[in-house]
Amino acid sequence: MTGTGRPLIGVTTQTLQVIDGVPADLPPSWVMNQYYVRALVNAGAAPVLVPLISSDEPALRGVYENLDGILFPGGVDVDPDLYGGESKGKLDRLDADRDATELLLARWALEGKKPVLGLCRGFQLLNVAAGGTLWPDLAHDRPEMQKHDYFPSQGFTRSHLAHSVDVQQGTRLCDALGARHSVMVNSMHHQGIRELGEHLVPAAIAPDGLVEALERPGDSFAIGVQWHPEMFASGEQSVGRLFEEFVEAARQEDRR
């Protein structure tokens, strides 16, 4: 924990060059959307950006050991090769360095019971880290399912409430969302959970049956949601006190 009493929470990054339209002559860089950082600051954390340095595992482990919690944010697709996925559907750009770094961090954190929160891609990444699988492209692999890809590039705002999810009673997520049975969420993904990873349980389910939140039961904080709660203010229905409870869990982690 920092000297201010704020728990130190790592936010993983993304390689700038995998983003469409980035000039090729820019130096290799790591970046991340500010919304994730600001949500953590507002919840009482001291966020730090985590570089993608899986090629130097001791250095990455040194970063990990100093963190009280880790947030895995949204971003590009998780590589299907990491979970044996086969699809002839759409596949967005990949970030091999991010996949490798996040999988190491997620596995260390799940094993060591360090608090973790996964959002959109981060939700999917946590599932893969626990041995679960994904549908690489829902439109191709599960065409009977409802639309989930409400991307800004298709004319939607990032805060567009696309569909409801049924929140599973008795879960930690349900408590964080104010014991609501159903909430409206935004939706910007084309991959989705196929098989849940080991020791994970569904915490919210879309009307078409797709798992939209997961968690690991027990006394450690390990939650992932498919939507983007960082786009909304604390207390709104799809956020509740999710960030505050994550930050408090990280604060308790520092005191163990």
Nearest CA among 236, 131, 145 for reference residue 189: 145
Single-letter amino acid, residue 161: L
Is 228 one of the annotated active-site residues of the chain? yes
Is 86 one of the annotated active-site residues of the chain? no
Active-site position among 230, 244, 245, 248: 230
Q: What SS3 string covers the chain?
A: CCCCCCCEEEEECEEHHHCCCCCCCCCCCEECCHHHHHHHHHCCCEEEEECCCCCCHHHHHHHHHCCCEEEECCCCECCHHHCCCCCCCCCCCECHHHHHHHHHHHHHHHHHCCCEEEECHHHHHHHHHCCCEEECCHHHHCCCCCCCECCHHHCCCCCCCCEEEEECCCCHHHHHCCCCCEEEECCECCCEEEECCCCCEEEEECCCCCEEEEECCCCCCEEEECCCHHHCCCCCCCCCCHHHHHHHHHHHHHHC
Active-site position among 102, 120, 163, 245: 120
Active-site position among 148, 215, 228, 248: 228
With beta carbons less than 8 A apart as the criterion, state whether 223 and 213 touch.
Answer: yes
Beta bridge partner(s), residue 147: none
Which residues are marked as active site? 120, 228, 230
